[in-house]
Amino acid sequence: MTDQIITKTETAPVKSSRRKFLKAGGLAAGAAAVGTFAMPNVSRAQTVTLKMQSSWTASDIFQEMAADYCTRVNEMAGGRLKIDLLVGGAVVHPFSVQDAVHTGVLDACHTVTVYWYGKHKAASLFGTGPVFGFNAEQGLGWIYNGGGKELYAELVNDILKLNIVSFFAMPMPTQPLGWFKRPLRSAADIKGLKYRTVGLAADLMQSMGMAVAQLPGGEIVPAMERGVIDAFEFNNPTSDRRFGAQNVAKNYMLGSYHQATEYFEIMYNKQKFATLPKEHQAILQYAAEAASSANYWKAMDIYSKDLQELKEKDKVNIIRTPKDVFEAQIKAWDGIIEQLAKDPYMKKVMDSQKAWVKRVVYYETLNAADYVTAYEHHFGKMQG
């Protein structure tokens, strides 16, 4: 993660009289008239186009969210910097985008860190790590203000020696436990299931007795149809519904500790990024922050609509994950944390997260309104 790009402009107080003001205005008007001849529009030949591939299928809501980011870059750059967005698999496999950006095959990608966690398990700590009590919005706070971006830079630049620079965006809502042919009644029902997930969540579910397959989104339904897996999670009601999860399972279990704090990684080839003007580097960074909000607002609207469609139109059973599954997950995380902490770098990352959570979540939780009580006052007992 690069340090924030900050442009500082200092101005000195200026004394002026009405006469000076009128005189200066006349000179400025003349200069503006001359400028129409002296300053032609920038040639389109000078436009820099960056080739970006996502890890998402064309129909996934995540591809729309990647496009939201690209639109902001293209419009803010006024035609002098453009991102050409490709779907997952257009150039390389969705899980291979980091390698392609590192080597320069791609200029950029839109992905999640967990897709390259095979290089170093610490990648999963930046989005799909142990649940210490913080949500994704608070997790982005840690990345931008709690030391996360510096720790991320240490991982990719110092430990892995990767030729990349990344920005993070979109605080993802908690990911559902997923889709099951038969609903889980207790944690005991987990044992023996063949389940799709990714990253440290795979370690978590394996420790709870599942057999785990790590697959990109586009391969999940075919694997379910062939019997390679018999349960899975991906991310959210919209993505899941669009790739047809409701056609291969009818029990959708909401709530889990397996992936409760994730966000997109928007990655650039570091050498390519360094060749761009400072103002274009700033646009790439700040567009990520703008898209982060826009993506989340879109998610609140469309995820909730699709959940209702799954329930009412597709006749899916919407079920809250049993409490003892949460309890089994958090205990399983304890064992994984103990193993991860044997690596000094990963211990440093988790210690940083814990320090952030202890302070920030304490404030937010004690201060938050009891929204469930307010909801049930107006709409009745929450079902599920």
Q: How does residue 384 score in pLDDT terms, banded at 50, 70 and 90?
A: confident
Whole-number pLDDT of residue 236: 97
Whole-number pLDDT of residue 39: 40
pTM of the prediction?
0.86
CA distance 222 to 12: 66
Domains of the chain: 46-171+261-300 (3.40.190.170)
Residue 213 DSSP SS3: strand
Q: How does residue 25 score in pLDDT terms, banded at 50, 70 and 90?
A: very low
| Per-residue pLDDT reduced to its tens digit, 321-360 | 999 999 999 999 999 999 999 999 999 999 999 999 999 9
Q: Minimal CA–CA distance to 214: which of 235, 229, 193?
A: 229
Whole-number pLDDT of residue 13: 37
Query: In percent, how much of the chain has pLDDT > 90?
Result: 85
Whole-number pLDDT of residue 383: 79
C-alpha separations of 212 from 304, 321, 334, 380 in Å: 28, 19, 19, 39
Q: Minimal CA–CA distance to 152: which of 349, 4, 284?
A: 349
CA distance 94 to 220: 13
* Beta-carbon contacts of residue 249 (< 8 Å; ≥ 6 apart): 179, 180, 181, 224, 231, 232
Q: Which structure tokens are listed for 178?
A: 């997923």
pLDDT higher than 80, residue 31: no
Query: In percent, how much of the chain has pLDDT > 70?
Result: 88
